[in-house]
Amino acid sequence: MLSLPPSIRIFVHALPTDMRKGFNGLCAIVSQAFGKNVLDGDYFVFVNRMRNRCKILYWDHDGIAVWAKRLERGGFQVPSRDDAASLCVEIDSVTLAMMIGGVDLNTAKRRKRYRAVAG
């Protein structure tokens, strides 16, 4: 399991990804679809069409790393997009942990918490 600080920004690719892609292919998606740079330190999550494979691409201080998981049964739930035209969804580390852990994101209830307005 990944242990991430809450300050990490995590982006999920909204479209299915070919899991044969390696470092360069996933970096190309990050720059073209997300409009971001992997070297900024953000995490980028990709799921295949069957949703039984997941890869996370991130910068690990001295190189690019890929974390991968294949499910033997079941599938990963991708968070829904707020904007139909958007190719990525930003999530927090708790949502990523629930997604990887198999929690239904639609039925999970979050308690009210204070959130500072970004500005």
In a domain, 112, yes or no: no
Alpha-carbon gap, residue 19 to 26, rounded angstroms: 9
Which parts of the chain sit beneath pLDDT 50?
none
> What's residue 10's pLDDT?
95
In a domain, 118, yes or no: no
> What's residue 21's pLDDT?
95
> What's residue 102's pLDDT?
83
Which residues, at least 6 apart from 107, have a Cβ–Cβ distance to it below 8 Å? none
SS3 label, residue 93: helix
In a domain, 37, yes or no: yes
If you count them, how many residues does the chain have?
119
Beta bridge pairs of residue 47: 54
Domain boundaries, position 49: 10-101
Alpha-carbon gap, residue 58 to 115, rounded angstroms: 26
> What's residue 62's pLDDT?
92
Residue 16: C-alpha distances to residues 48, 55, 77 (Å): 5, 11, 12
In a domain, 20, yes or no: yes
CA 49 to chain centre: 15
Residue 77 contacts residue 99 (beta carbons within 8 Å): yes
* Tokens found for residue 58: 């991130």
Question: Domain tally for the chain?
Answer: 1
Residue 5 contacts residue 93 (beta carbons within 8 Å): yes
